[in-house]
Structure 1
Amino acid sequence: MTLAPYAADPAHSRGREFSQESGTRGPRSAFQRDRDRIIHSMAFRRLRSKTQVFISPDSDYYRTRLTHSLEVAQIGRVIARLLGLEEDLTEGLCLAHDIGHPPFGHAGEKALSEAMVEAGGYDHNAHGIRVLARLESPYCTHDGLNLSWETLEGMAKHNGPVAGPNWALAEVDTAFPLALGEWPSLEAQVANVADDIAYDNHDIDDGLRSGFLELDDLLTLDFVADRWRGVERRFPHAEHDRKLRELVREQIGAMVNDVVAETAGRVKGVDSIAEVRGADGSLAGFSAEMAQHERRLKAFMYDKLYYHPEQQVTAERAREVIASLFAAYRADPAALPQDRRETLPAAEPQRARHIADFIAGMTDRFAIDEYTRLHGKAPEGLTNV
């Protein structure tokens, strides 16, 4: 496939932080290697047991961070292909975008942010870069996965330029400058909007399945109601559950088509990736009308699902689990596993950051097991579906 002039070209990558031998493991491009390294990483595998929306779900049908990331990658690849972008870079960024999330999702992040106030704080996006550039270290010659500049840059700036990086991102940027003040590649911008499309709509699927969301409430949103009426016209005799799944597919399709059309219009006349980086704003995104629909949908989801009273109670219990683990390890390093004790720094803030790295890498299940081991009882009320 011929790349568009504004796409990232692996043949012109800015390289990797550490030099390496080339050509020893097959004829793959730099971005293919990045994607494969992410897929083979332990941090990626752990996403299978990390919260997406529902904490510690008993059902196998609810999404986790891993299944969400795979769905984002599918949407991102479709958009990238239609726009002539580099698909492997887009896919790698989609797969890696949530790799810095701690157990229990945003509840766990809140706990670590509070615990790390004196040590520079905690941010899941910056931590994801720290994981892939420093902590995940399967190679004999250097720390990290040694991903290409374009992949690290896309992870750092998928939401746009970064004016005030926290300590974790600043640490990597100092060693391997990522031009944080510029806009990222279109591949990174597409990964960002693919994330929005995936969780806006797949969280509806999980919310309806769980009973936290009601279809009648969803149909107060014009965008959703229009799609639903179309589904009912085409499939009047289909089972209700099948029509709900068709609704989700219809919404994803409408959003993807809108992004492709809007972005294609914005990039007319853009002849290089340098112009993408120097633009005044994001070039990939929704039209003004679809952006308004998406904002209303997101506000609805926060009101009805993410901030549902039962969800809030469960999230607070999860926050307490992570806070108690951090406090226990801080008070008694002997509570840490041996390999973590042996590498525990003596000075702050490195000591607190080391403990946070350990906790952030836990799955929901392992965090619960650690809490049980340290406190002699399992935490209560950590599932609501």
Structure 2
Amino acid sequence: MTPASYAADPLQTRGREFSTGRFPSRGPRTEFQRDRDRLIHSMSFRRLRSKTQVFIAPEGDHYRTRMTHSLEVAQIGRVIARALGLNEDLAEALCLAHDLGHPPFGHAGEDALTEAMKPFGGFDHNAHALRTVMRLESPYPDHDGLNLTWDLLEGLAKHNGPIENPNWALAELDADFPLELSQWPSLEAQVAAVADDIAYDNHDIDDGLRAGFLDLEDLLTVDFLADQWRAVEKRFPHAPRERQLRELVREQIGLMVNDVIAHAREQLKGVSSVDEVRSAGHSLAGFSPEFAEKERSLKAFMYERLYYHDDQVAAASNAREVVAELFSAYAADERLMPQGWQEQSPPGQPQRARKIADFIAGMSDRFAMEAFTAIHGKRPEGLTNV
């Protein structure tokens, strides 16, 4: 398929922060393919397999983690990017990287780090994703970070839209390698953002049903879900209920993907370059206004029935306590951290606290629980509710 004129072009990338020689023996890949492969091979990506998506430290094998979620986002993102003639490799890389900054225990862990870091500039998982790939994940002998393309980094920084007031982490990185934070990002980044919404809107339903936190009667209180359920029942009247429910989730994903593609095609009429995408002043790849309202109603439902479920709230409270106590323990005695992290610890504030936050944010759920156990002599309780 011929790329659209508004697609990102790997031959026109704005380059990488650090100049390096070419390595022809490493394969005939484009610059965006190299970005994707560096992310897949990174330790930060591997750790996502043990980081919370919805349920904290789930005991069942069938629940999603940050890694499986990121893979599902990448699949949806590639479908949309292909239909719009965009660069699939860049879209996929952005989807795979979008959650690399999440600490253990999901948003509960982030809340704890945000509170602990208030005196030191705060914590934000989006900015920390940039910090991870630009400074912390450093497998190369001649520079820090993964040295990804400008196009990948600006899309990762701004996939949710322009940033007017970056926090300290993003401001420092932008000063070193300016990312034009006040402009809209590429279409590939916009696709990654909406693919994330599509994936978690629907797959969280799937996990919520499996865990017993949601049931069919709950779902039918959302009008457009009820419409789709009736259509599924009509097409597959004799199928087992579990298969009908999974078909409902697939149907919802298809509806959302098709809406985004149709709406983007309308929005892109008359747009002929990446520069025009960035200067458009609004998102060009998202839900139509009508579907956006339906999607907001679904999110409201999910917050009420799943994310704020009493069991979830209790587990999140316990998770916040674990992260808060880890931060306090390391702040009081750096010798509790691994030797390598002790050696990297700066002498003064806020740099010292920020390094502690880097260490904790990189932990998987499992490692955080082991670290807590090593410090306190007992395993944290009340984290797993499925």
Do the two structures share a fold, i.e. TM-score over 0.5? yes
Q: Supply the distance in 2 between the matched residues of 1:93 and 1:280 (Cα, whole angstroms).
A: 21
Equivalent residue number for residue 18 of structure 1? 18
| Cα deviation 1:252-281 (Å, max 9, x = unaligned) | 000000000000010011010000000020
Question: In the alignment, residue 92 of structure 2 is paired with which amino acid?
Answer: E
- Give the aligned partner of residue 359 of structure 1: 360
Quick one: distance in 2 between partners of 1:309 and 1:127? Answer: 29
Alignment partners' CA distance in 1, 2:345 and 2:303 = 39
| TM superposition score normalised by structure 1 | 0.99
Question: Quick check: 1:275 aligned with 2:279?
Answer: no
Q: What secondary structure does 2:345 align onto?
A: coil
- Measure the CA separation in 1 of the matches of 2:65 and 2:217: 26
Distance in 2 separating the partners of 1:320 and 1:16: 39
**Which residue of structure 2 aligns with residue 103 of structure 1?**
104
| Alignment of structure 1 residues 119-268 onto 2, 5 Å | 119-268=120-269
Q: Tell me the CA shift for residue 226 of structure 1.
A: 1.0
* Counterpart AA for 1:299: A
Q: Which residue of 1 aligns with 2:50?
A: 49
Could you give the per-residue CA deviations for residues 117-161 of structure 1, whole angstroms, max 9, x where no partner exists?
111100000000000000000001100000000000000000100
C-alpha displacement at 1:192, in angstroms?
0.1
For residues 134 and 336 of structure 1, the distance between their equivalents in structure 2, rounded to whole angstroms, comes to 19
Q: Which runs of 5+ in 1 are unaligned?
A: none
Deviation, structure 1 residue 23: 4.0
* CA–CA separation in structure 2 for the residues paired with 1:153 and 1:182: 10
Give the corresponding residue for 2:349.
348
CA separation in 2, counterparts of 1:40 and 1:171?
A: 26
What CA distance in whole angstroms lies between the structure 2 residues aligned with 1:359 and 1:272?
41
Counterpart of 2:77?
Answer: 76
Note the alpha carbon deviations across 1:218-253, whole angstroms, 9 max, x for none.
Answer: 111111011111110010000110000000000000
Quote how far apart the aligned CAs of 1:2 are. Answer: 1.3
Aligned residue pairs total: 385
- Verify: 1:4 aligned to 2:35, yes or no: no
- 118-127 or 213-222, which moves further after superposition? 213-222
* Equivalent runs, 1:59-70 vs 2, <5 Å: 59-70=60-71
Detail structure 1 runs of 4+ shifted over 2 Å in the superposition: none
Whole-Å Cα distance in 2 between the matches of residues 333 and 34 of structure 1? 34
User: Cα offset for 1:286?
Assistant: 0.6
Which runs of 5 or more residues in structure 2 are unaligned? none
Q: CA deviation at 1:193?
A: 0.2
Could you tell which deviates more after superposition, 338-347 or 149-158? 338-347
> What is the alpha-carbon distance in structure 1 between the residues aligned to residue 314 and residue 365 of structure 2?
17
The answer to whether structure 1 residue 322 and structure 2 residue 323 are counterparts is yes
Secondary structure of the residue that 2:243 maps to in structure 1?
A: helix
* TM-score normalised according to structure 2 size: 0.99
Provide the secondary structure at the position in 1 that maps to 2:86: coil
Greater shift in the superposed pair: 21-30 or 53-62? 21-30
Measured in 2, the distance between the counterparts of 1:120 and 1:110 equals 14
Residue in 2 that maps onto 1:285: 286
In the alignment, the residues of structure 1 paired with residue 294 and residue 74 of structure 2 have an alpha-carbon distance, to the nearest angstrom, of 23
Task: Quote the Cα distance in structure 1 between the aligned partners of 2:279 and 2:330.
Answer: 45
CA-to-aligned-CA distance 1:2-36 (integer Å, 9 cap, x gap): 11011100010000000011243111111000000
Shift of 1:53: 0.3
Separation in 2, partners of 1:61, 1:236? 26
The percent of aligned pairs where both chains have the same amino acid is 70
